[in-house]
Amino acid sequence: MRVVAVPCLKDNFAYLVIEGTQAAVVDPSAAAPVEAALERAGVELAAIWLTHHHWDHVGGVPDLTTARPGLPVVASAKDSEKIKGVTQRLADEEWTETANLRAYAIDNPGHTLGAISFRIADAVFTGDTLFGAGCGRMFEGDPAMMHASLMKLAALPGETRLYFGHEYTQSNLRFAAAVEPSNRAVADRAAAIPAPSTPSTVDLELATNPFLRCSEPAVIEAALAHGAASREPHEVFRALRAWKDTF
């Protein structure tokens, strides 16, 4: 399995997941860059996998499917009413399979109620749930829900590659440094951000992503200084997310 990141719009990533001559595309926000990437890779589009319903993740679906009648379009059952043309509606841990491409859904409510990640082998496509050193805003969910979704991803094996939906890593690391000024891993990561910064790994996020570090004493203290009402991880998370929203 091979993954190709496809920059789209201003800072979005779509991804081609390639097995042999077939590819699935994750979150095609626009059709043209995806078509160009398919052409460059010399592969045929076999499926569309959508992490959530936002326009900047599904905008390319109509053009891609019009050009390929019958193309599978896969999304979470909970988001499927909000996306036109979905052909398979996944529940938590349900598999989708097209050609040699086989992935399963990880329910990740919080950014949207129907947000999912797709896991295929040692790669996970996290959409707008987890970013490099950060996480998505809670448009539909609450802090306990979003924090639990992030903890689910954090519990995956450390070498798991995390392919996220936006290039926000640099600004996220500025926030991470404000939360934990003495975290050496944050400083090291900020000093050498690859372009693009996707993928990350679970181990790198555990070391540098403040939203996965809500039980760390330094993170708890920073959150308490920014409105956290207790040391409970989901309350620390709530305070960090609110702080980041205005950072």
Question: Where do contacts with Zn ion occur on this chain (CB under 5 A)?
Answer: 54, 128
Reading phi first (left if > 0) and then psi (alpha if -120 to 50, else beta), residue 124 is in beta
The minimum distance between CB 115 and Zn ion, in angstroms, equals 8
Residue with tokens 């509606």: 89
Q: Which of 53, 54, 107, 147 is catalytic?
A: 54
Nearer to Zn ion among residue 3 and residue 9 (C-beta): 9
Nearest to 77 by CA among 96, 64, 60: 96
Nearer to Zn ion among residue 125 and residue 223 (C-beta): 125
Q: Which of 27, 53, 57, 79 is catalytic?
A: 57
The minimum distance between CB 143 and Zn ion, in angstroms, equals 17
The minimum distance between CB 185 and Zn ion, in angstroms, equals 27
Residue with tokens 């938590």: 92
Nearer to Zn ion among residue 54 and residue 238 (C-beta): 54
Nearer to Zn ion among residue 126 and residue 160 (C-beta): 126
User: Does the bond joining 199 to the residue before it have cis omega, within 30 degrees of 0?
Assistant: yes
Annotation marks residue 56 as catalytic: yes
Nearest to 109 by CA among 155, 142, 133: 142
What angle do helix axes 143-154 and 233-245 make, rounded to 10 degrees?
100
The minimum distance between CB 175 and Zn ion, in angstroms, equals 18
Annotation marks residue 226 as catalytic: no
Nearer to Zn ion among residue 128 and residue 205 (C-beta): 128
Residues 6+ apart with CB under 8 A from 193: 169, 170, 173
The minimum distance between CB 73 and Zn ion, in angstroms, equals 17
Q: How far is CA 195 from CA 16, 60, 110, 199, in A?
A: 18, 24, 28, 10
Q: Which of 27, 52, 53, 107 is catalytic?
A: 52
Q: How far apart are CA 51 and CA 83, in angstroms?
A: 11
Annotation marks residue 53 as catalytic: no
Nearest to 164 by CA among 42, 14, 2: 14
Show which residues are catalytic: 52, 54, 56-57, 111, 128, 166
